[in-house]
Structure 1
Amino acid sequence: MSDNDVSYTIEEVASLLKVSKLTVYDLIKKNELPSYRVGRQMRVDMKDLEEYKNRKKTGGSIRVPVSKQSIPEIQPKSFVISGQDLALDLLAKQLEKGETELRPLRVYSGSLNSLISMYNNQCDLVSLHLFDGDTGTYNIPYVKKILTGFPFIVINFLSRWAGLYVKNGNPKNIKGWADLNREDVKIINRERGSGARILLDEQLRVHGIKSSEVNGYYREETSHLTIASAIAGEKADIGIGIEKAAKIVGVEFIPLIKERYDLVLIKREENKDIIQQIKDILSSGEMKKDIHLMGDYDITETGKVMYETF
């Protein structure tokens, strides 16, 4: 195989450049690093990566030089969607089929980390499920604080049950948040910046439990599925996550809170059409049917504008 035939995944490019995946997506979004899609995965050719590195070394232009013969008449606009729920793939698919020429790029980052990335102009749409213990509400308090100074819109995507994963049969008779600091109970946590981690930390604060009192607080996994799998593998007694992952893995689930899973976009002149397209997609019978068929999702408010600044 020649060097011209070698390509990298986004994860491999991030590792080679020693940067985050979001930084790589930002380079692609700005057309500084050419990429293409193979199925659901984005790829970058070795030669394009080397050309990018050489341009940076020589201080040359970081824009990708392209000939007229190499570009189509309409260039798809890269559109970075940050979030982990599988239903976001349905939205990305619908956006790609829409009238607005878009190339959706998926970043599987946690809610708080995604929102901070949006503030830093590294993604175009973020999905959130961030619980605020002071108000007992989701998302809006965080968006107001982090996107201060930006006009934004928050649209409901779906709602779902969050709670605790426990071993089948619930042998330790775990009932809720108050059991988290029991000496005979060990938890496994989500990574910092994820919505599930925020939910846990807020519930600990509300219930007056110190993180140092929680056995296993610093042991982390990076998705609902890996948390549920850790419980199934008897690596811990409690995990925090959503109902769907419990059913996929086959562990018992204790529902504790109905969380709202919203989409956030910064309002700019250039993305008015995209925002309207997303509203239309979420309000369509086709999208609601597709989400409903995935199971364990409440679509009562799907497409509803929950908050908007002007």
Structure 2
Amino acid sequence: MSQSHGMSRVRFLEKRSLREALEVFVERAEIVPKAERVTVEASLGRVLAEPVFAKISVPHYHAAAMDGIAVRAEDTFGTSESHPIRLELGAEKRGFSFVDTGQPLPPWADAVVMIEQVVEVGPGEVEIRQAATPWQHVRLVGEDIVASELLLPRGHRIRPCDVGALLAAGHLDVPVVRKPRVAIIPTGSELIEPGAPLFPGAIIEFNSRMISAFLVEWGADPHRYAPVADDREALRSVLQESLKDHDIVVFIAGSSAGERDHTVETLREAGEVLVHGIDIMPGKPAICARVASKPVLGLPGYPVSAAIVALQVLRPLVFRHLGVAAPPLPHVNAISPRKIPSKLGIEEFVRVTLGVVGRKVVALPLPRGAGAISTLVRADGFLRIPTDSEGVQAGEKVRVELLRDWAEIENTILVTGSHDLALGFLEDALKRVHPELRLACSNVGSLAGLTALARGETHVAGTHLLDPSSGTYNLADVDRVIGRKSVVVVRMAVREQGLILARGNPKQIRGVRDLVRPDVRFVNRQPGAGTRVLLDVLLRKEGLDPGNIRGYEREEFSHMAVAVSVASGLADCAMGLRTAAAALGLDFVPLEREEYDLVFRRDFYRSERGRWVIEALRSETFRQLAGQLDGYDASMAGTLKPWS
């Protein structure tokens, strides 16, 4: 939000813990679920407002359970292999009638003999060699469902099989809880609709679509409003309009303590603010209010914050309106291989990627910024760090609440280490043949990737570490960190590294010697990244002191991140890949052709999934896709790198 100096900032006066917020906003809410009738065929996923009792029995007549002949059981008594009897079609004594599965039995019959046990001996005459017992192979009236018995209880969410049972039991429509109608109101003068022309400062409004999708998944009926400008009167007007036809109102953004965040004051004027600020991260600047006896929730504008508050507060509120308890998210116990620090007094939700490595589930933390929607896309779940904890220690067991099906997580291959754009093509080549598999990449740098592999915390490590003494890539560091006997090094690509520069190279930067100029602002990669190792080697060759580079200590964690810093004018130069520069239309000065390799533990390399990864690397699909990246040569992808 932009600043307005004529208005003071609002403090968080009603800040509470998440438990307290749920108690005052959700559990104490006076909610009476409303009912409506819908056709059974349109009832899938709906929640029953009342118990449903069967109108008719199923079956409602005595039915043949097999193809065969209907008989009186007593007419067959005494029959055996040595004493067969003959039955006559339609006869009053020792008679029979042909029946197919599901057909009603004649009134006089009480058993069915399977057609496989019947021998036709003449026109209208058959022979059997086994006696029938009363009601054998017969579905009796009410065998499945008896008229008037309870079919489905109140609060039951209707499944596909329930649709069939309801229709079979004589119902054409059923009483269900009306879906709670939820108004979603995004706020902010800077918001534009998806597809509108972009300009500096414009923000594509996507939060309302994300929240709307959540609501549909939970069983609500969302209604999105057009973005509302940062104007108190406009907020008042849309609030009053939305309260007329909706059970819940959700504002997005405007919930923090900024100078133009008007939502809290608008709600305070119109009703009662119960909570302003929840002790969670991300998600602190949330509002829980009651206006005209209806719940109004203010979500933070950052997408991760909005999603966390929606999952923790809006979700249980929706289920209260449906008259049922919100089902708990499934969870799994995992190991955190890294230390995750946290602040006392805040309950933190840390997004993680999960993978099963050996016999343990590994939880790798994702970047923790509240504005990074991509981390929600990549997250398999989140772990909670309670308010009385300063974080998670490396190797500590953690409980992860899942956002993805466990089957997907079990089929995840973890790739930890250096960032590379071609890994996305590798996953695509892999999924074309094995759609159940998924690659999950943790971009922590080459050295950290090798360390994770040595500790058994990943399946594969991506690396491009130059050994200055031999001039070779990766083998020396792999041998030093892990040991050559336990791993296999597989080629993926040869890439062009160099200096990423602003379009047109306005600073006329020609090589690493220009980096020490006082007018050049640099952005670096993190320690342990192969790109940083290469830069340090080149600086030593030139006899340059890194301390003289303006921005050497400023770090990013991927090639695209440093390229974005240059493209946005935050830096004049960065070390990175040609393909990252080309993607953003930036200039590039080539310095080195480097080797990016994937390092497999031998046990994973020999496994079925390991073989599938190698096959994907060697596929024409991957080599063609990766070869289209500027500065890439993937012609040797999937081949083993020999130890010299």
TM-score scaled to structure 2, two decimals? 0.39
1:91 alignment partner in structure 2: 426
Distance 1:168 1:32 in 2: 42
* Residue 360 of structure 2, aligned match among 23, 30, 37: 30
Shift, 1:128, TM fit: 1.1
Q: Distance in 1 between matches of 2:580 and 2:619?
A: 26
Relative to structure 1, the CA distance from residue 97 to residue 49 in structure 2 (aligned partners, 3 Å threshold; closer, same or farther) is farther
- 8 A contact 1:128–1:263 mirrored in 2: yes
CA contact (8 A) 1:92 1:104 kept: yes
Q: 1:181 offset after TM fit, Å?
A: 1.9
Change (3 A) 1:29 1:114: farther
1:153–1:267 contact (8 Å) kept in structure 2: yes
In structure 1, C-alpha distance between the alignment counterparts of 2:532 and 2:409, rounded to whole Å = 39
- 1:216 aligns to what? 551
Out of 258, 274, 277, the residue aligned to residue 609 of structure 2 is 274
The one of the two structures with greater contact order (alpha-carbon pairs below 8 A, sep at least 6) is: 1
1:4 matched to 2:327: yes
For 2:593 and 2:359, the matched residues in 1 are separated by: 35
Deviates more, 1:182-191 or 1:264-273: 264-273
Corresponding residue number in structure 2 for 1:197: 532
- Code of the aligned partner of 1:159: V
Q: 1:133 to 1:308 in 2, by over 3 A?
A: closer
Greater share of residues in strand: 2
Partner of 2:502: 167
What's 1:255 paired with?
590
Cα offsets for 1:38-67 (capped at 9, x unmatched):
x96343378x999xxxxxxxxxx9999xxx
**Alpha-carbon distance in structure 2 between the residues aligned to 1:209 and 1:20:** 40
Deviation at 1:185, TM superposition (A): 2.3
- The correspondence of residues 58-73 of structure 1 with structure 2, limited to 5 A, is none
* Distance (whole Å) between structure 1 residues aligned to residue 532 and residue 406 of structure 2: 44
Aligned to 2:509, the other structure's residue is in SS state coil
One-letter code aligned to 2:327? N
Judged with a 3 Å threshold, the aligned counterparts in structure 2 of structure 1 residues 20 and 262 are, in CA distance, closer, same or farther, namely: farther
Unmatched 5+ residue regions in structure 2?
1-314, 317-325, 335-339, 364-375, 387-396
Q: How does 1:110-189 map to 2 (within 5 A)?
A: 110-148=445-483, 150-189=485-524
Identity %: 28
Superposed CA deviations along residues 220-244 of structure 1, whole A, max 9, x for unmatched, are 1222122112222332222110011
Structure 1 pair 213/41, CA: closer, same or farther in 2 (3 Å)? closer
Match of 1:288 in 2: 623
Determine the C-alpha separation between the residues in 2 that align with 1:44 and 1:75. Answer: 10
Matched residue type, 2:523: I
What CA distance in whole angstroms lies between the structure 2 residues aligned with 1:118 and 1:146? 9
Contact 2:490 2:640 in 1 (8 A): yes
Name the CA distance, whole Å, in 2 between partners of 1:178 and 1:214. Answer: 10
Note the aligned Cα RMSD (angstroms). Answer: 4.0
Q: Distance in 1 between matches of 2:351 and 2:479?
A: 26
| Number of aligned positions between the proteins | 284
Write the distance in 2 (CA, Å) between the matches of 1:122 and 1:19: 18
Q: By percentage of residues, which structure has more helix?
A: 1
Query: 71, 81, 105: which is aligned to 2:440?
Result: 105
> CA 1:222–1:32 in structure 2 vs 1: closer, same or farther (change >3 Å)?
closer
Measured after TM superposition, the shift of residue 88 of structure 1 is 0.9
Report the residue type matching 1:41 in the other structure.
Answer: R
CA contact (8 A) 2:582 2:630 kept: no
Contact residue 578 and residue 631 of structure 2 kept, 8 A: yes
Which residue of 1 is the match for residue 579 of structure 2? Answer: 244
Bigger radius of gyration among the two: 2
- Stretches of structure 1 lacking an aligned partner (at least 5 in a row): 34-38, 51-60, 65-69
- Contact 1:32–1:62 (CA under 8 A) maintained in structure 2: no
After TM superposition, the score normalised by the length of structure 1 is: 0.75
Sort the Cα spacing of 1:280 and 1:76 in 2 relative to 1 into closer, same or farther, 3 A: same
- The offset of 1:118, in angstroms, is 0.8
From 413, 423, 426, the equivalent of 1:79 is 413
Query: Does the CA contact (< 8 Å) of 2:357 and 2:459 recur in 1?
Result: no
Q: Cα gap change, 1:100/1:31 in structure 2, threshold over 3 Å: closer, same or farther?
A: farther
Does the CA contact (< 8 Å) of 1:133 and 1:203 recur in 2? no
Cα distance in 1, alignment partners of residues 362 and 563 from structure 2: 39
- The whole-number CA distance in structure 2 between the counterparts of 1:216 and 1:71 is 43
Q: CA deviation at 1:199?
A: 1.4
Q: Is the 8 A contact 2:355 2:410 kept in 1?
A: no
Matched, 1:206 2:541: yes
- Greater CA deviation, 77-86 or 216-225? 77-86
1:304 alignment partner in structure 2: 639
- Say if 1:76 and 1:101, in contact at 8 Å, map to a contact too: no
Distance 1:286 1:229, change over 3 A: closer
Corresponding letter in the other structure for 1:122: E
**How big is each residue's C-alpha offset from its partner over 1:247-285, in whole Å with a ceiling of 9 and x where there is no partner?**
111211111111111111011278443343333222222
Contact 1:75/1:101 (<8 A) preserved: no
